[in-house]
Amino acid sequence: MLFHKCPVIQGICIFSNVFRPFDLQFNDNHFVNLAWLLHSFTNRPVCSSITFPIATTLFAAFFFTELMQHWFRHRSATYLLWWAIGVFFYGAGTITESIHALAGYSPANFKVWYIFGALLGGAPLAQGTVYLLLKKQTAHILTIILVCVILVAGVLVILSPLKPIETTGGKLGGKLLEWSYIRAITPFINIYAFVFLVGGACYSAYLYYRTVIDKSKFWGIVLIAAGGLLPGIGGSFSKFGHIEVLYVTEFIGICMIHAGYQKMKESSAPSVHSNQR
């Protein structure tokens, strides 16, 4: 199979070229090898939307391991632990998407997907930014509130009856929940995640651009902000039945967040945040 002729792989390879001005090294052959691995594992065309959740899961597992190793070296950096937890649930959510694509619909898998995706998809990553930007006492208070809201919402999802899968045309979606008021809780969690993950990244980027001569960390933050925004855009498309867009944006988003993290870690510029010094 000629993977370079696949439009998805060509798109990813073109996407990888965007990072080269930031001194981030990506080899197109790595993406082709990943495509071959996914094709061998799924026995399906590499351009199938099934491959994207699997690819995201594999990449998130690698990223999670990297963040945990970083945190083990800096145990006082609570923000690193929360970022690792966030990446873990990011990848765990895409595992449930893969199960649905490969094995079909399962009520239990749907509920796990909703909890990991809608409730935990971005909140832990945002909580890492909370611990980076705010005082620890304030961050602890916000953590208690966030965990309580997620626990209540998670229990409601577990207890809620489900509508037939035909309601959404065989696709995963919040409309399957009989207790529709649960869907009114998730926007508050997602807004919280957006404000601190994307908004916090934009604020950090502004500080680095204004105060630091070396702009490498600024560009790293820009990549993180863009990567954090993409799954939200994909989620908006999924509400209109285009779930494949979410799968693609999740994969590209985690790649961009990792690229930004690498850029930040490799930069010798001083941090503008007191919690990071």
Question: What is the rounded CA–CA span in Å between residue 189 and residue 186?
Answer: 5
Question: Is the domain of 37 the same as that of 141?
Answer: no
Question: Is the domain of 82 the same as that of 114?
Answer: yes
pTM of structure = 0.79
Average pLDDT of the residues in 68-73: 94
Question: What is the rounded CA–CA span in Å between residue 119 and residue 129?
Answer: 17
pLDDT of the residue at 7: 42
- What is the band of 49 on the pLDDT scale with cuts at 50, 70, 90? low
Question: Is the domain of 117 the same as that of 170?
Answer: yes
Cα 151 to chain center, whole Å?
20
Question: Is the domain of 53 the same as that of 151?
Answer: yes
pLDDT of the residue at 228: 87
Q: How far apart are the first and last CA of the chain?
A: 50
Question: Is the domain of 42 the same as that of 58?
Answer: no
Question: Is the domain of 159 the same as that of 60?
Answer: yes
- What is the band of 114 on the pLDDT scale with cuts at 50, 70, 90? very high
**Window from 2-11, 108-117, 144-153, 162-171 with minimum mean pLDDT:** 2-11
Nearest Cα neighbor of 190 from 135, 157, 228, 133 is: 228
In CATH, what number is assigned to the domain containing residue 235?
1.20.1070
Over residues 194-218, the pLDDT tens digits come to: 999 889 988 988 888 888 777 888 8
Question: What is the rounded CA–CA span in Å between residue 84 and residue 125?
Answer: 8
What's the domain range around 186?
Answer: 49-276
Burial level of 161, CB count in 10 A (0-12/13-18/19+)?
exposed
Nearest Cα neighbor of 58 from 91, 14, 16 is: 91
Question: Is the domain of 28 the same as that of 107?
Answer: no
Question: Is the domain of 9 the same as that of 113?
Answer: no
Q: Give the number of domains in the chain.
A: 2
Question: Is the domain of 223 the same as that of 264?
Answer: yes
Average pLDDT of the residues in 208-237: 84
